Amino acid sequence: MTAHTLAPRTPTGTGATLQIDGLGKRYGDTVALDGVTFDVRPGEIFGFVGSNGAGKTTTMRIALGVLAADSGTVHLGGRPVDLDVRRTIGYMPEERGLYPKMKVGEQLTYLAELHGVGRAAARRAVLRWSEQLGVAHRLDDTVDALSLGNQQRVQLAAALVHDPAVLVLDEPFSGLDPVAVDVMSEVLREKARAGVPVLFSSHQLDLVQRLCDRVGILVAGRMRTVGTVGEVRRGGGTRLEVHAPAAPPGWADALPAVDVVTHDRGRTVLTLTEGADDQQVLAAALATGPVHGFTRTTPSLTELYREVVA
């Protein structure tokens, strides 16, 4: 069966929520997913983060219907992910799946048609996204003639050419230079502004913090935390950065409701829990000698992630 003989897809439409509820998956004695639950809302960019092997790719493949879950459900716009719904999803795998000897333009048109897009509409979509992603001048080249960065741009175009109702992207920014990151980031923002839910995984947590509306941290197959970037960062507690050059190691250990995160050559980072008195901390620091810095901060997503995973 050729691509153009497929029946037109049944669009789920923008404004649909991707709902992942209680996913469980085992491989023998290994628990890959244990009750994973979260949603990605219309117009939202959701960052899905976790260590290698945490279960991110398994979750995404189940969401796409590529893998079957042992338990739990996935719905898009209230509908289970069947063949029709699957064709409305734009997916960019971590392992790039392009045909290396096929010309870029022909390949993108073919992939759009596989999703039920008509030939003329497919060609318009290919031109639009290849221009926006900066690869329009490479449409007549084969994929293996492109740099790895340009191959990633083409792979993202392949996820966009059928006007997907939801985007699911596995490590889309891996190995990209800063200009390419900016280009791809703006494409994701554009789709979100159009009401499309966007789910992507990444180890670049500074980018996740800057780009995402909400974030979920997956640890050993379990969702450890889900919330807005601000909520997740505040969940790490208020921090104090104290620069007291003469302060010895352990100077803050006895302070109530205070945990020492790091101490290095007179610079100490402290987490304040409920009931902590920052003025008491300041007094203790001054007791060691001069204080050159005393600043309240919120942990970055990277700092919080390290603590959660540890």
Q: 144 and 44, same structural domain?
A: yes
State both tokens at 39: 């949603």
Q: 261 and 157, same structural domain?
A: no
pLDDT at position 117, please? Answer: 93
Q: What are phi and psi of 306, to 5 degrees?
A: -60, -40
Q: 146 and 180, same structural domain?
A: yes
Nearest to 296 by CA among 278, 310, 283: 278
The CA distance from 205 to 194, in Å, is 25
Q: 277 and 135, same structural domain?
A: no
State both tokens at 150: 């340009």
- Judge whether residue 58 has pLDDT over 80: yes
Domain edge (last residue) among 198, 233, 268: 233
Here the CATH number for the domain that contains residue 80 is 3.40.50.300
Q: 94 and 176, same structural domain?
A: yes
DSSP state of 244: -
User: How many domains, the chain?
Assistant: 2
DSSP state of 61: H
pLDDT at position 127, please? Answer: 96
pLDDT at position 308, please? Answer: 79
Please write the tens of the pLDDT for every residue from 148-159. 889 999 999 999
Q: 248 and 101, same structural domain?
A: no
For residues 267 and 294, the answer to whether their CB atoms sit within 8 Å is: no
Please write the tens of the pLDDT for every residue from 229-242. 888 887 777 889 99
Q: Which domain holds residue 151?
A: 3-233
Domain edge (last residue) among 214, 233, 252: 233
Here the CATH number for the domain that contains residue 280 is 3.30.70
- Judge whether residue 57 has pLDDT over 60: yes
Q: 249 and 214, same structural domain?
A: no
- Judge whether residue 5 has pLDDT over 50: no
Q: 249 and 128, same structural domain?
A: no
pLDDT at position 249, please? Answer: 93
Widest CA span of the chain, in angstroms? 80
The arrangement of strands across the sheet holding 30-40 comes to 30-40, 18-27, 71-76, 79-80
The CA distance from 299 to 294, in Å, is 15
Q: 228 and 140, same structural domain?
A: yes
Q: 116 and 88, same structural domain?
A: yes
Q: DSSP labels for 162-209?
A: T--SEEEEESTTTT--HHHHHHHHHHHHHHHHTT--EEEE-S-HHHHH
Q: 282 and 229, same structural domain?
A: no
Q: 227 and 267, same structural domain?
A: no
pTM, full prediction:
0.82
The CA distance from 1 to 4, in Å, is 8
For residues 91 and 64, the answer to whether their CB atoms sit within 8 Å is: yes
Domain edge (last residue) among 201, 233, 265: 233
End-to-end C-alpha distance for the chain, whole angstroms: 51
The CA distance from 79 to 57, in Å, is 22
**Confidence band for 15, pLDDT divided at 50, 70 and 90:** confident
Question: What's the sign of the alpha-carbon dihedral 176, 178, 179, 183?
Answer: positive
Which residues, 6+ apart, have CB-to-CB distance to 279 below 8 Å?
none
The CA distance from 249 to 273, in Å, is 20
CB atoms within 10 A of CB 24: 16
Residue with tokens 């059928």: 162
Please write the tens of the pLDDT for every residue from 116-132. 899 999 999 999 999 99
**Confidence band for 11, pLDDT divided at 50, 70 and 90:** very low
